[in-house]
Structure 1
């Protein structure tokens, strides 16, 4: 990030949304090392355009997300690039947590009975934020899970690799187009912790450094160069 102009902390089991402008940067920090940030992207000028997890993985020949990777829309454009990452392995295949799974793992709690100690789930957290923009259940796409690494066992079952957790881990996003960002800090759907995790996440917002010819994200894959070209075409006249 070139500058940090705004900083906030999002408590665990919370949700937030904001429009991030092209040329801005966002830094996420897992303060305790126990965090998970579920995130979705939408084009605020055309909410039908949203994050496409399969294309983001397929065109970059990867199963994980880390520095050098771009986050694609379903129109072949790049919402954001990962310019820095001290964690090294972020998930975008496992989805988000649901109320039924949270109730089964940690017990049923609701706000009316338990106040702020109730147990929020990622799916409902997304719905609360999406409703602010006229979006709903049908608009939830496959999401990212920052600071969560998944692995497979010998039988092919996917599990959360908790050994990868790092207190103070950071990831920086550079936004390549105006983007509606929807996020929550609810547990990863594969989290098997004994107690419901409530990990705070710090969010820094500011200006991104200009893209240089040797930019890691631009040059990491030939497909990314085409993605940046699609963005350039989209922004003609703006």
Structure 2
């Protein structure tokens, strides 16, 4: 179809309606072919290409599942309390308050205010990282020749900046991210050992404990030793559910978690949310 004229370009664009690409959002999400819940509950369905990003505002109680489809995705995630960008993921507090640097089922993602942003309710992979953050423009330029967002090797921070801007946030609002699906372990001498992927099909599920802004960049882990830029598709699905209730094992597993949930409940109650 000729696109040299405005009419031709219009007809070509309209002809793409209904076309499905490997990596794209599905709108409405309820058209996703195999939802993990009642199809009517699905609110976000997208496949994020390697070297790309996505973002969404999710209501409290929503469950978000990330899946590494081919074994070389790495989801760098930042969370904010919706409407309060100063309350955002604090990786240092997430690690130190829970006395554990390794993310897995049962861990909580905490804000700097000592409140729970999300609970990690399922984890089939076990290889994640809360220590190294994401890649930068300078590092990717030195390593791959370019790290700009439109390049073949975009840096995670550059993509997260774009996602942040689309939610009214500025680069200064970006805290360190956490990474799912590419693992790091700390050696006895304090250095970091890259443990790589758990393989295709690994997934994690997060439960939103407040209304959240979610930013995700799917780029190689900064410690990935391979000389080439390797990043494969990431599946993102979210569905309506309920926040963690009083008495739930996630709230009662440890004193630190109980206090974080109490802080969250008190704050939400003052805002008229139970």
**211-220 vs 50-59, which deviates more?**
211-220
Contact 1:105 1:192 in 2 (8 A): no
Alpha carbons of structure 1 residues 211 and 110: separation in structure 2 relative to 1, 3 Å:
closer
C-alpha separation in 1, matches of 2:37 and 2:256: 26
TM-score, structure 2 as length reference: 0.78
The 3-state SS of whatever aligns with 2:185 is strand
Q: What is the number of equivalent residue pairs in this alignment?
A: 233
Bigger relative CO (Cα 8 Å, ≥ 6 apart): 1
C-alpha separation in 2, matches of 1:109 and 1:2: 38
TM-score, structure 1 as length reference: 0.90
Are 1:97 and 2:131 counterparts?
no
- The residue that corresponds to 1:142 in the other structure is 176
Alpha carbons of structure 1 residues 131 and 206: separation in structure 2 relative to 1, 3 Å:
same
C-alpha separation in 1, matches of 2:163 and 2:154: 13
C-alpha separation in 1, matches of 2:215 and 2:145: 26
Deviations 1:3-36 (A, max 9, x none): 4614211111111111111010000000011110
Alpha carbons of structure 1 residues 59 and 32: separation in structure 2 relative to 1, 3 Å:
same
Alpha carbons of structure 1 residues 133 and 8: separation in structure 2 relative to 1, 3 Å:
closer
- The residue that corresponds to 1:88 in the other structure is 126
Are 1:187 and 2:220 counterparts?
yes
Shift of 1:198: 2.3
One of 118, 139, 157 as aligned partner of 1:123: 157
Deviations 1:70-94 (A, max 9, x none): 0001111111000110112321110
Deviations 1:163-196 (A, max 9, x none): x422100101011100111110011111122321
Alpha carbons of structure 1 residues 121 and 203: separation in structure 2 relative to 1, 3 Å:
same
Q: Rg: which structure is higher?
A: 2
One of 46, 49, 58 as aligned partner of 1:8: 46
C-alpha separation in 2, matches of 1:35 and 1:90: 11
C-alpha separation in 1, matches of 2:245 and 2:167: 35
Are 1:204 and 2:237 counterparts?
yes
Contact 2:60 2:210 in 1 (8 A): yes
Alpha carbons of structure 1 residues 152 and 46: separation in structure 2 relative to 1, 3 Å:
closer
Contact 2:71 2:200 in 1 (8 A): yes
**96-105 vs 210-219, which deviates more?**
210-219
C-alpha separation in 1, matches of 2:146 and 2:133: 21
Shift of 1:214: 5.6
- The residue that corresponds to 2:24 in the other structure is none
Contact 2:207 2:243 in 1 (8 A): no
Deviations 1:51-102 (A, max 9, x none): 1111111111101111000000111111100011011232111011012221
Shift of 1:212: 5.5
Alpha carbons of structure 1 residues 212 and 61: separation in structure 2 relative to 1, 3 Å:
same
Can you give the 5+ residue segments of structure 1 that lack an aligned partner in the other structure?
none
Can you give the 5+ residue segments of structure 2 that lack an aligned partner in the other structure?
1-35
- The residue that corresponds to 1:232 in the other structure is 265
Are 1:27 and 2:65 counterparts?
yes
RMSD: 2.0
